[in-house]
Amino acid sequence: MDAQALRDAYVNFFVERGHTHIGSASLIPENDPTVLFTTAGMHPLVPYILGEKHPGGRRLVDFQKCIRTGDIEEVGDASHLTFFEMLGNWSLGDYFKKESIEYSFGLLTDVLKIDINNLAVTAFEGEEGIPKDTETAEFWKSRGIRDDQIFFYGREHNWWGPAGQTGPCGPDTEIFFDDGRPKCGPDCGPACKCGKYTEIWNNVFMQYSKDTDGRFTPLRQKNVDTGMGLERVLCVVNGLKTVYDTSLFTGIIGKLEELSGKKYGDFTRPFRIIADHLRASTFLLGDGVVPAKTGQGYILRRLIRRASRYMSSLGMEGVNMHKISEVIVSEYSDAYPELGRNRDLIFAQITAEEERFRRTLAKGLKRFDEMVSESGGSGELGGEAVFRLYDTFGFPIELTQELAAERGYSVNTDDFDSRFREHQEKSRSGSDQTFKGGLADAGEQTTKLHTATHLLNAALKKFVDPGIQQKGSNITAERLRFDFNLDRKLTSEELKSIEDYINEIISQDIPVVCEETPYEEAKKRNAVGVFQDKYGEIVKMYSIGDVSVELCGGPHVKSTGEIGCFKIIKEESSAAGTRRIKATVG
Ligand code: SER
């Protein structure tokens, strides 16, 4: 069974049982500022688990792209991945434990043809006033699962969530594939790391919400949230040893063999790291993230740079990374059409970042070796040296740590952190002074963001209130920030209309026209930014079709299509009566 067949089988099974198939959401969470990425299929559904009505109804199914970055350094072994896909089905206040377990059992044994003897399941042992989940065990037994296949664990193993610091969570029942080997010892069970058991599916009974004080409040509705790891299940149903042996990776690894002239079997770890990191990077770029010094863009930069270093270790200095990304885009764009739509942007960004890093990699490595010898065998690299590698050579701190570890060295991260903070503060105050006009630099990205700011200004007037006025604007290479007068939070519908509208204007590729015109003329045309009479003056005015006319110094893109894709990442209060929107483009 290949990946698409598994996605289809899963979705169809649940659609036949009354579920609505919903699309995969972006890797950038819309509803949760406490995490960088979408880490589970339930993440984009949090508002609905909390009780909002979902347009698809109370039964949903999907496959969702996810990224978890906690174990980047572990990638390269048989199972860790940064990017993965999660198949999931949800009941939003509809069915609960009984049907959830029946459905899971049916899919695993009837559709995926897993032998019942290869299954093992877990349930919540009970802890902190929440009782033991014997009900779940009984439902499994009613399907023919024996007592010796059922294991009870506490919160550490059988409790899921919340995804960020707050939100829905609850006890779960996890389903494992038991490969049939004898137990490694008397305590061997699904929680054992010996490899006998592989977790394939998690059914969470989301009954609680954790609040900022750490309290658990019962939810108004009882929900089911399930998540099945696509890569792992492909492994299990095809009798394969590692996720990298599945059809999801054979094309990427084949391309790497072709381009490097080396065999995967001889260089397993670097091959896996490159394949994993470029898969994650391609998807992040496809969702509009661009390499940057902080936030999501920093993780992307780390992934691309780490992949680049491993490519060098395979002698692939002359190979363009986007050649591997091309394989990923072509293999995944049926399931994730945004990759196809954004392919040019993905390749351009990955190439630009690769070039930026390659220009300094050799010098940086040389400097790194000098630092090691200068340290006089102390076993530790000081924060100043590490900060220089970061600032001058673009080495993510984690890369330096990894290089250091390879030589038996550690890195003084506390010292690095304080230098990093000091640097950030300096550059923040520097940019506040230098960029009173709000535009941090005239690079390509900031230009796009600048035009996007005009579109946002227009969209706010159109969808929220014609009286909205700009109260402040600040643009960095990563995002725009726009403050405006309003004394309430925007609704999610308003945010969506704004985003959709701006993306529609982008897709129409409307020319951005700059005119130098007398002030009176600008006033007649209702240009935004006409605050006071400047009689007789010639002003610079940018117009975008009939969408926006604004007095402005520029620079702007030539036509809206260049912006690529517009995404709101945050809407929050900035001061009394002032709201703030942060958004990205790409
Ligand atoms: N949220 C649960 C998980 O990530 C089930 O989807 O495992």
Taking the domains of the chain in order of start, what are their residue ranges? 3-244, 246-363, 380-435, 443-585
C-alpha 209 – ligand 1 centre gap (Å): 15
**Domain 443-585 homologous superfamily, CATH:** Threonyl-trna Synthetase; Chain A, domain 2 (3.30.980.10)
Of the residues 87, 225, 231, 232, which should be mutated to test ligand 1's pocket, given the most ligand atoms within 8 Å of the CB? 225
Residue nearest to atom 2 of ligand 1 (CA): 227
DSSP string, 180-208: -PPPSSTT-STT--SSSEEEEEEEEEEEE
Distances in Å between the alpha carbon of 290 and those of 38, 110, 208, 446? 17, 43, 36, 12
Closest ligand 1 atom, residue 227 Cα: 6
Residue nearest to atom 4 of ligand 1 (CA): 40
C-alpha 43 – ligand 1 centre gap (Å): 9
- pLDDT for 434 equals 27
Closest ligand 1 atom, residue 161 Cα: 1
CB-neighbour burial class of residue 433 (10 A; exposed 0-12, middle 13-18, buried 19+): exposed
C-alpha 571 – ligand 1 centre gap (Å): 27
| Domain 3-244, CATH number (from 2.60.40.10, 1.10.3470.10, 3.30.565.10, 3.30.930.10) | 3.30.930.10
C-alpha 241 – ligand 1 centre gap (Å): 23
Check: CB of residue 567 under 8 Å from CB of residue 288.
Answer: yes
Helices (H), 287-342: 295-313, 322-332, 337-341
Of the residues 38, 42, 199, which should be mutated to test ligand 1's pocket, given the most ligand atoms within 8 Å of the CB? 42
In this prediction the pTM is 0.71
Closest ligand 1 atom, residue 41 Cα: 6
C-alpha 226 – ligand 1 centre gap (Å): 6
C-alpha 171 – ligand 1 centre gap (Å): 11
C-alpha 230 – ligand 1 centre gap (Å): 12
Task: Go through 238-271 and write b for each residue having 16 or more CB atoms within 10 A of its CB, e for each that does not.
Answer: eeeeebbbbbbbebbbebbbebbebebeebbebb
As given in the structure block, the two tokens for residue 53 are 């009505």
> In the structure, which protein residues have their CB atom closer than 6 angstroms to any atom of ligand 1?
40-42, 88, 160, 202, 204, 225-227
DSSP H or E stretch at residue 289: none
C-alpha 133 – ligand 1 centre gap (Å): 18
Of the residues 204, 205, 230, 231, which should be mutated to test ligand 1's pocket, given the most ligand atoms within 8 Å of the CB? 204
Strand 83-92 and strand 119-124: the pairing is: unpaired
CA quadruple 155, 157, 158, 161: dihedral positive or negative?
positive
As given in the structure block, the two tokens for residue 182 are 């004898």
C-alpha 162 – ligand 1 centre gap (Å): 10
- pLDDT for 424 equals 67
Closest ligand 1 atom, residue 40 Cα: 4
C-alpha 341 – ligand 1 centre gap (Å): 29
Of the residues 226, 231, 233, which should be mutated to test ligand 1's pocket, given the most ligand atoms within 8 Å of the CB? 226
Report the C-alpha gap between 418 and 398 in whole angstroms: 16
- pLDDT for 335 equals 96
C-alpha 443 – ligand 1 centre gap (Å): 40
DSSP state of 243: G
Residue nearest to atom 3 of ligand 1 (CA): 227
C-alpha 228 – ligand 1 centre gap (Å): 8
Secondary structure of residue 160 in the 3-state scheme? strand
C-alpha 24 – ligand 1 centre gap (Å): 15
Closest ligand 1 atom, residue 228 Cα: 6
Of the residues 43, 64, 81, 160, which should be mutated to test ligand 1's pocket, given the most ligand atoms within 8 Å of the CB? 160
Closest ligand 1 atom, residue 43 Cα: 1
Report the C-alpha gap between 251 and 248 in whole angstroms: 7
Closest ligand 1 atom, residue 203 Cα: 5
Per-residue confidence in pLDDT tens, the chain, 586 aa: 999 999 999 999 999 999 999 999 999 987 566 678 999 999 889 888 888 888 899 999 999 999 998 778 789 988 889 999 999 999 999 999 999 999 999 999 999 999 999 999 999 999 877 889 999 999 999 999 999 999 999 988 999 988 777 888 999 999 999 999 999 999 999 999 898 999 999 999 999 988 888 888 888 899 999 999 999 999 999 999 999 999 999 999 999 999 999 999 999 999 999 999 999 999 999 998 999 887 889 899 999 999 998 998 899 988 999 999 999 999 999 999 999 999 999 999 999 999 999 888 888 889 999 988 888 878 888 888 888 888 888 788 888 988 899 888 898 888 888 888 777 666 544 333 322 233 334 667 888 999 999 999 999 999 999 999 887 778 877 889 998 999 999 999 999 999 999 999 999 999 999 887 887 888 888 888 765 554 556 777 899 999 999 987 777 899 999 999 999 999 998 877 889 999 999 8
Q: Which amino acid is at 490?
A: L
